[in-house]
């Protein structure tokens, strides 16, 4: 797959914290290694699930360098570099590209809400010009439920027309399948990732690149299995099962829920910590979540023991 059509199952890796809420770089490295070992094609570090917008610019750069210094390959990393401040976005993006991470996931500037495509176009193109590096490959990050600032179909077209060598793809976390389908239809050369594995099978059937999904932190094995087998007779069954797991987790608060699952898996209670203003799950909510996942035969890091068919014969 060419650089412009990079794809697969990418995971926005969770950021672990110490009791003083400083990032725990050793736990972070261990989890990133585990994700890659279990089949992740890439790590979209410093995304929403990573609590990136609760991290400072220096913290993000320190963690990225720590991964690289400890043999996480630059070409599997897609750091999130979009912020509300143009200068911070440029600084993070320059840093990533200079360290070999040409692929970056870039939010639009999201603080001011009454902005139009013209302003967003100016922000992206100014960033591209200031970074000034042909190795830069931007993956637009469309997540209006959180950012409240969307990336329209027209804006995608304008950016592709102005900067075709720099705009490589998009992560659509709108939760609106019709929007994802419209992107896939109008811009077939763009590497389009669904922001939830709930839409993975439909995305792949329509020419998409894959998924960048929060739940990959705990179910990368199951999601990867669907990515590999999406053209088999069992694809619908695989999709239904990962969708059930997704919904069970999302019935709790997503990031604290994921951290509770990871804490249980690693037997490391500090993994439950989230940086304020987020709050960790209560003990009872965490127990209910783990019980619900057990009822789906879910075990982090393993294929399900039972999903309605024989895995060996799939």
Mean pLDDT of 224-239: 97
294 in a domain, yes or no? no
First to last CA, the chain: 26
Q: What is the pLDDT of residue 305?
A: 60
49 near 254, Cβ under 8 Å?
Answer: yes
Burial level of 279, CB count in 10 A (0-12/13-18/19+)?
Answer: exposed
Kindly report the number of other CB atoms within 10 A of residue 254's CB atom.
15
Residue with tokens 């705009």: 167
Q: 272 lies in a domain?
A: no
Do the domain assignments include residue 308?
Answer: no
| Structure confidence at residue 259 as a pLDDT band (50, 70, 90) | very high
Domains identified in the chain, total number: 1
- 227 vs 9: CA distance, rounded Å: 7
pLDDT tens-digit series, residues 31-61:
999 999 999 999 999 999 999 999 999 999 9
Q: What is the residue range of 34's domain?
A: 3-230
User: Cα separation of 191 and 209, whole Å?
Assistant: 5
> Domain for residue 42, yes or no?
yes
pLDDT over 60 (residue 312): no
- Residue pLDDT, tens place only, 98-145: 999 999 999 999 999 989 999 999 999 999 999 999 999 999 999 999
Residue 237 lies in a domain: no
| Cα–Cα distance for residue pair 218/204, rounded to 1 Å | 21
Assign 309 a pLDDT band (cuts: 50, 70, 90).
Answer: very low
State yes or no: pLDDT of 202 exceeds 90.
yes
Q: Is the pLDDT of residue 311 over 80?
A: no
Q: What is the DSSP string of 145-196?
A: HHHS----HHHHHHHHHH-TTTEEEEEE-SS-HHHHHHHHHH-TTSEEEESS
Would residue 241 count as lying in a domain?
no
Assess if residue 107 is contained within a domain.
Answer: yes
Say which CATH number the domain at 216 has. 3.20.20.70
pTM for the whole structure: 0.94
């Amino acid at each position: 797959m060419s650089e412009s059509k990079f794809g697969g199952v990418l995971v926005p890796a969770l950021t672990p914290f110490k009791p003083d809420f400083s990032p725990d770089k050793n736990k972070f490295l261990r989890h990133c290694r585990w994700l890659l070992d279990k089949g992740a094609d890439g790590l979209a570090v410093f995304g929403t699930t990573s609590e990136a917008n609760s991290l400072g610019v220096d913290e993000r750069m320190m963690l990225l360098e720590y991964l690289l210094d400890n043999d996480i390959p630059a070409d599997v990393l897609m750091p999130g570099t979009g912020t509300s401040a143009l200068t911070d976005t440029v600084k993070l993006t320059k840093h990533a590209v200079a360290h070999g991470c040409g692929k970056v996931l870039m939010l639009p500037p999201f603080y001011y809400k009454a902005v139009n495509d013209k302003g967003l176009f100016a922000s992206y193109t100014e960033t591209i010009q200031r970074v000034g590096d042909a190795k830069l490959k931007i993956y637009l990050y469309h997540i209006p439920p959180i950012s409240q600032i969307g990336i329209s179909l027209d804006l995608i077209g304008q950016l592709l027309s102005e900067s075709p060598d720099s705009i490589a793809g998009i992560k659509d976390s709108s939760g609106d399948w019709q929007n994802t389908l419209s992107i896939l239809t109008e811009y077939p050369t763009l590497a389009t990732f669904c922001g939830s594995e709930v839409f993975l099978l439909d995305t792949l059937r329509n020419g998409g690149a894959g998924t960048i999904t929060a739940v990959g932190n705990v179910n990368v094995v199951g999601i990867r299995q669907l990515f590999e087998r999406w053209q088999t007779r069992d694809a619908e069954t695989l999709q239904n099962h990962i969708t059930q797991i997704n919904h069970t987790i999302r019935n709790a608060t997503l990031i604290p829920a994921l951290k509770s699952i990871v804490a249980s898996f690693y037997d490391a209670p500090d993994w439950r910590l989230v940086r304020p203003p987020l709050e960790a799950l209560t003990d009872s909510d965490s127990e209910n979540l783990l019980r619900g996942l057990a009822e789906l035969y879910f075990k982090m890091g393993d294929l399900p023991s039972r999903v309605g068919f024989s895995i060996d014969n799939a």
